[in-house]
Amino acid sequence: MKILLITPPLTQLNTPYPATMVLKGFLKTLGHQVEQMDLGIELVDRIYSKKGLTEIFRHSEKKPKNEAMQFIFDGRDDYVNCVETVMRFLRGKDQTIAGRIASHTLLPEGPRFENLIDTEMAFGLAGKSDEARYLATRYIEDIADYIREMVSPHFDLVRYAEHLGSYAPKFDNVDKSLKAPLFLTDEWMLQLLDEKIKSCSPQLVGLSIPFPGCLYAALRCAQYIKQNYPEIVVTAGGGYPNTELRQISDVRFFNYVDYLTLDDGELPLKRLCEYLEGKTESDKLVRTYHLDADRKKIVYSGNDSENVRFADTGIPDFSGLKLDLYISTTEGSNPMHTLWQSGRWNKLVMAHGCYWAKCAFCDVTLDYIRRYDAPSADIVVDRMESVMNQTGESGFHFTDEAMPPRLLKEVALEIKRRKMVVSYWGNIRFDKTYTAELCELLSESGMIAASGGLEVASDRLLKLMRKGVTIEQTTLACKHLTDAGIMVHTYLMYGFPTEAFQECIDALEVVRQLFANGLVHSAFWHRYAMTVHSPSGQNPKEFGVNKVKCACNSFCNNEIPFEEEIDYDSELMGEGLRFATYNYMHGIGLDFPLSRWFKMKIPRTTVPSNLIEKIIRNDR
């Protein structure tokens, strides 16, 4: 079959989201003709051009809303004149312009420039390219703010109409938005889609929906195809359906797409193609929702246990993607944090699923976490070599739930055996396997960074949530990694069931000490959410809380409400934790009292001031 796979707006600006490449690589081995496109980066390219910005300002010239938007509109000629130069620079070309950008003599400086960091302190006198990228990021964010305020309220640089998909128990608001008139950016998105359809004439279009900020755009595309190319079959899948739409019962969704698949897409798409070609029956479809013959009832195919072995999924295929359009941005000077925004990393998965898969807050009942399936190191490194040859890039971001230490060691040895020069990073668990010897090997093979969850930073709560690590174990893993020159990011959580006010403050003190001792380079706090697919969501009483009884939603079912009495303001707590950690990431305030970061009175920490230092000392 002739297949077109699409990543709708918007995911990342610096590198393609990997789903379509993986599926294309697999489907091509079956003999299908497969095209792909990242519609998000192509839309950004359409907007951030002289022609695009000129149309944006012409479209909005009669309706400036406030002083900030008026400033940008009044300086529209400067914005238009700079835009293509800035985009070339952010794509790694025309680097000689960095000096002019960094000297504040080229770009119009709108609202996003009002609270700049001290760039000389952050980037130094020689870091003009990094400083220029930081300022250029502010410039394109100003434009994005203007578009959202004046032209298309759905637009943002890394999401599109995210509010419609973030919490949607019913399909009503999504459906209403899809029946409303198109915004200008919608029109451009659909023009790009139409050009691609005309060029490849697909019989089947597959829409990957990894995040809530892709849902509206995906369905706009599906709607356009149904209206203008009714002969094309449309299917959708991805991370968002996998977590949110597993219990969908609203038939209106299928006015836009013909099929909705769950979990890994290889076998569902293989079987769907066979069905469309008349080679099998509908009851052989795998993890697929569709309407019955009367289009009145949703049918689910089942066959949930059928899968393709991870070793047999093939090599990701990057052909057809416009790799030269991706841009590197930065929100600050923290080198670990910047990895998510800068550099065209080749995204790969080392092993399917999580080798631990026990954490109480995690969706461990879902296939992409529960079903652990690791290939040999040879297969992993073969894929790395093939992707390097396709993209010309030697950097890899492994997006595993947690890279398995045993396989990671074998991969590192294989990289060294083949004398490959690569750099790579990814998620890990801070377990005891990360000895000084292993971390030295990983560094020698090209590992530059690791991200992992310390979560609540409390031994009591870590045990309750079945994390399988302790503060001491995490500290030692971080020490061995940083001693080997590997940067460390940690994910943090507040609001886990039964967490007390004192424990939140103590957790921040642990984090402060980790930063102060140079054991972590960046961190991020998020608030605990109880989900349908997690052990804490399925058995909340085991974790000291009660789930609020509610009926199954007709559209999204993921996060669920629960009842708990807490002794602190969770909103102010989150603000304080994030404020403190943002400053710690930039080396600021490590000797400040914790109360400095909060807008409420907090208790003194009970954590010994030398806790982390003592753990380190005992490791010597």
- Residue 490 and residue 507: Cα distance in Å, rounded? 13
State the average pLDDT over residues 166-189.
96
Per-residue model confidence (pLDDT) at position 166: 87
Per-residue model confidence (pLDDT) at position 561: 87
Stronger pLDDT, 114 or 523, i.e. the higher one: 523
Per-residue model confidence (pLDDT) at position 301: 97
Domain spans of the chain? 2-43+161-311, 46-160, 343-619
- Interior CA angle at 104 toward 102 and 109, to 5°? 120
Query: What is the per-residue pLDDT across 190-223, written as a single tens digit (0 to 9) for each?
Result: 999 999 999 999 999 999 999 999 999 999 999 9
Residue 547 has pLDDT above 90, yes or no: no
Per-residue model confidence (pLDDT) at position 343: 92
Which range is least confidently modeled, 59-68, 88-97, 461-470?
59-68
Per-residue model confidence (pLDDT) at position 26: 97
Asked if domains 2-43+161-311 and 343-619 share a fold, the reply is no
Which range is least confidently modeled, 198-202, 281-285, 298-302, 546-550?
546-550
Query: What CATH topology corresponds to 2-43+161-311?
Result: Rossmann fold (3.40.50)
The pTM of this model reads: 0.94
Mean of pLDDT over the chain:
95
State the average pLDDT over residues 563-582.
92
Banded model confidence at residue 416, pLDDT cuts 50, 70, 90 = very high
Q: What one-letter code names the amino acid at 186?
A: D
Contact 496, 456 (CB under 8 A): yes
**DSSP, residue by residue, 330-341:** -SSS-HHHHTTT
State the average pLDDT over residues 102-124.
83
State the average pLDDT over residues 220-248.
97
What is the DSSP-derived secondary structure letter of residue 164?
A: H
Query: What is the per-residue pLDDT across 52-82, written as a single tens digit (0 to 9) for each?
Result: 999 999 998 777 778 899 999 999 999 999 9
Residue 126 has pLDDT above 60, yes or no: no
Question: Taking Cα atoms as reference points, which of 488, 468, 474 lies closest to residue 354?
Answer: 468
Per-residue model confidence (pLDDT) at position 62: 72
Q: E strands within 446-547? A: 447-455, 487-494, 522-527, 546-547
Residue 382 has pLDDT above 80, yes or no: yes
Residues sharing a CB contact under 8 Å with residue 183, sequence separation 6 or more, in sequence order: 151, 152, 153, 154, 155
State the average pLDDT over residues 497-521.
97
Per-residue model confidence (pLDDT) at position 61: 77
Residue 125 has pLDDT above 70, yes or no: no
Residue 562 has pLDDT above 60, yes or no: yes
User: Mean pLDDT highest for which of 433-442, 536-545, 558-567?
Assistant: 433-442
The fraction of the chain above a pLDDT of 90, given in percent, is: 89
Q: What is the CATH number of domain 343-619?
A: 3.80.30.20
State the average pLDDT over residues 307-315.
95
Per-residue model confidence (pLDDT) at position 332: 83
Which residue has 């918007």 as its token pair? Answer: 10
Cα–Cα separations (whole angstroms), residue 181 to 62, 185, 256: 19, 12, 16
- Residue 560 and residue 548: Cα distance in Å, rounded? 8
Complete edge-to-edge strand list for the sheet that includes strand 298-300: 33-38, 2-7, 204-208, 233-237, 259-261, 288-291, 298-300
